[in-house]
């Protein structure tokens, strides 16, 4: 303590106070409370949607997803940066598309990366798959699409008996062999490993491919059942009967009103609005007129009403005659 501080506190009663002990005591209490609550209520997180679970519980949905990707119908194909160079679909505001600034940082060709490459590796020890894959790749693009369309149409009336997908009669070419091999990969729990493998690292750090595999129909249906879609206030909800992040309501609210709720650029529009609002709040003390709002609104007098009440009382007492 400085000499000036000691002089200012001269004659004022004081007692020792251990700030470090106080802080450690509070920290220990919080840690114990968090552990007890975690034991009692567990985690509200929904189990990860794994390829193994989808292949085992919803094999037809698994095959529909896989066939759509092989047919070139994946949204990733036309998503644009950071996955493809097609920037026509990149979200933009006033002609500005930030996604294009950094280009293609994660190049993806779903048909090759998600289906054909894993099948090529499995074909090394599966002769039937190798022959089917060779037949498929040797066929013209029109013939491939004919097989795939017939197969996807057949899946609409397919049934599952004893874990075997029964397809109606049709000319599917080698497609059923390819799709059943992908289904076997999923049931064996190897799909994510095949998609995310990175020969340059001893362990996997990039899970982009496996996360994108089911992102259209399967993950969408799971999110809908949990009330976590954009039109259901999405990220402000929690999985299960737990309260969500109420502090995200202003953000998710913007998705519920036009033009954000109907625009293809809705995500970027919401980000820009939230960014502008944050900057306004941050620099409000320096923005003319806005920096006068607190004084004009007078909310501070309501917050500090006790202080103003005593101030007015003291002022009236001093102003009274004989005081």
What values do phi and psi take at 250, rounded to 5? Answer: -55, -35
pLDDT at residue 323 above 60? no
For 118-137, what is each residue's pLDDT tens digit? 999 999 999 999 999 999 99
Q: What would the mean pLDDT of 159-185 be, rounded to a whole number?
A: 95
Residue 46, SS3?
coil
Q: What would the mean pLDDT of 170-175 be, rounded to a whole number?
A: 96
Lowest mean pLDDT among 30-34, 99-103, 174-178: 99-103
* Residues β-bridged to residue 133: none
CA–CA dist 80, 268 (Å, integer) = 14
Strands 159-161 and 164-166 turn out to be antiparallel
In the prediction, which pLDDT does 140 show?
A: 96
Rounding to the nearest 10 degrees, give the CA dihedral for residues 258, 262, 264, 270.
Answer: 30
In the prediction, which pLDDT does 318 show?
A: 64
Q: What is the average pLDDT score of the chain?
A: 89
CA–CA dist 101, 98 (Å, integer) = 5
* Packing angle, helices 59-70 and 141-155, rounded to 10: 160
pLDDT at residue 311 above 80? no
> Which CA distances in Å does 231 have to 138, 227, 243, 261?
44, 9, 18, 8
CA–CA dist 182, 39 (Å, integer) = 39
**Residue 63 · residue 181 · CB < 8 Å:** no
CA–CA dist 22, 25 (Å, integer) = 5
**Helix, strand, coil shares of the chain as percentages rounded to 5?**
60, 0, 35
Number of residues that make up the chain: 323
Using omega within 30 degrees of 0 as the cis cutoff, is the peptide bond preceding 82 cis? yes
* Percent of the chain scoring above 70 in pLDDT: 93
* Percent of the chain scoring above 90 in pLDDT: 59
Lowest mean pLDDT among 81-95, 129-143, 274-288: 81-95
Confidence band, pLDDT 50/70/90 cuts, at residue 321: low
Closest CA to 191 of 47, 63, 45, 60: 63
Domain limits, the chain? 51-218
């Amino acid at each position: 303590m400085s000499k000036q501080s000691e002089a200012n506190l001269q004659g004022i009663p004081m007692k020792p106070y251990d700030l470090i002990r106080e802080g450690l005591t509070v920290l220990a209490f919080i840690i114990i409370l968090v552990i007890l609550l975690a034991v009692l209520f567990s985690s509200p997180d929904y189990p990860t949607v794994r390829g193994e679970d989808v292949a085992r519980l919803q094999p037809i949905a698994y095959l529909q997803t896989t066939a759509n990707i092989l047919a070139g119908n994946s949204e990733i194909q036309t998503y644009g940066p950071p996955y493809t160079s097609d920037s026509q679909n990149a979200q933009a505001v006033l002609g500005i598309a930030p996604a294009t600034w950094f280009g293609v940082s994660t190049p993806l060709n779903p048909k090759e990366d998600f289906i054909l490459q894993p099948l090529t590796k499995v074909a090394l020890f599966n002769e039937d798959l190798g022959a089917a894959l060779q037949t498929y790749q040797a066929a013209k693009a029109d013939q491939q699409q004919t097989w795939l369309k017939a197969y996807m149409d057949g899946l609409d009336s397919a049934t599952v008996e004893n874990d075997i997908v029964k397809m109606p009669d049709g000319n599917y070419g080698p497609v059923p062999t390819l799709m059943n091999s992908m289904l076997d990969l999923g049931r064996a729990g190897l799909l994510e490993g095949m998609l995310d493998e990175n020969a340059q690292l001893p362990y996997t750090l990039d899970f982009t491919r496996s996360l994108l595999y089911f992102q259209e129909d399967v993950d969408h249906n799971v999110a809908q059942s949990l009330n976590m879609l954009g039109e259901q206030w999405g990220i402000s909800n929690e999985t299960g009967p737990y309260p969500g992040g109420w502090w995200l309501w202003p953000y998710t609210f913007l998705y519920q009103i036009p033009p954000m709720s109907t625009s293809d650029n809705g995500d970027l529009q919401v980000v820009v609005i939230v960014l502008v609002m944050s900057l306004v709040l941050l620099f409000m003390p320096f923005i003319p007129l806005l920096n006068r709002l607190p004084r004009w609104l007078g909310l501070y007098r309501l917050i500090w009403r006790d202080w103003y009440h005593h101030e007015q009382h003291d002022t009236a007492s001093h102003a009274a005659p004989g005081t």
